[in-house]
A and B are shown apart, each in its own frame.
Chain A
Amino acid sequence: MATDTQLDLWEVFIQPKSGNRYAHAGSIHASDKKMAIQNARDIYTRRGEGTSIWVVPSNCIIASNPSDEDMLFEPSNDKVYRHPTFYEMPEGAKNI
């Protein structure tokens, strides 16, 4: 993964508050797990963005191939009946 001189690449996931899902925030460089958490904290949570962090070495992430986009995602585009649009959202329900 040594693609540059800035240490290894890690992906950062932030949980805004307890119970919420973790969302990808961006990436950072670090040489080890401890440094990765510290750097993620310094870069992505300086303004109260989160209460918990995951860091994952970027090379551990298996990604879909952009050239497979048609095969993987195109078939879902014309099947609107898959969207549960007839449900009414209960009032006051958040995070759905």
Chain B
Amino acid sequence: MKKQEAIYNYALRLGDNSLVLGHRLAELCSKGPILEEDLALTNMALDHIGRAQAFLNYAAQVEAKNKTADDLAYKRGERSFYNNLIMELPDKDFASTIARQLIVSTFEYFLYTELMKSKDETIAAISAKAVKEVRYHLAHSSDWTCRLGEGTDLSHEKMQRAFNDVWMFTDELFEMNEVDEVLIKEGIAIDLNSIKPLWFNHVKEVIEEATLKLPETGYMQTGGRKGIHTEYLGHILSEMQYLQRAYPTAQW
């Protein structure tokens, strides 16, 4: 695999994670438990969409086939999306939203902190901006995990169930393939094994502080790196891409 192709794939992967999670968070607009929380979640959705735009722009630029970020977001099929499966899972309740937010923002915090040192200037610059946003996402989800874990019996139970349900999707965040191999040598990507213990320790710390139990590690889901997804991504894309597909070249 050539360096250019690897960067394209890497930017897509980071962009797709942001785009799909951003879409999931945006779906919660008007459904937050209170107005303040509604705005917090949609604020975070906008952070993710902004980051997706930056990474997909870069992917389009690297691919050099005269495409735009919009082309990549709205005209790819689900088998060409490389996001991790955890991003596309539906939000069952507020606890499931918070459990995913804690797991993903902890991952993103360590990922983007390291990627700020990437030898690829664009990836380093987007990462530097992302870290500021993610620090807030991490504080938000850590605080809520503790609040719900230490709240009532019911909130404790829901929070525990949410972590148990999502746990099998955590290993996939750290999967690597040929893309990583090529880019790690170039000093562009990072070895995800190096941030796995940092991720694990932080998540464990917050879960325990919230008086919850770390879920047992059993079977782990996989597929996102190969473009193999859960049934949910197709539904997300059918909604997200509807307008561009029904009215190609539509403009505001």
Contact = CB atoms under 8 A, between A and B. Distances in A.
Contacts, number: 32
Given A42-B43, A46-B43, A34 B143 contact: yes
Interface in A18-39: 28-32, 34-35, 38-39
B34 A29 contact: yes
Interface residues on A, range: 10 to 19
Given A31-B147, A43-B39, A46-B43, A38 B34 contact: no
A7 interface: yes
Interface residues of B, number: 12
B43 A30 contact: no
A6 interface: yes
A70 B34 CA distance: 39
B216 interface: no
B165 to A, nearest CB: 25
Contacts of B237: none
Contacts of B34: 6-7, 29
Interface of A: 6-7, 28-32, 34-35, 38-39, 41-43, 46
Interface of B: 34-37, 39-40, 43, 136, 139-140, 143, 147
Given A7-B34, A34-B143, A39-B39, 5 more contacts: A6-B34, A29-B35, A38-B140, A39-B36, A41-B136
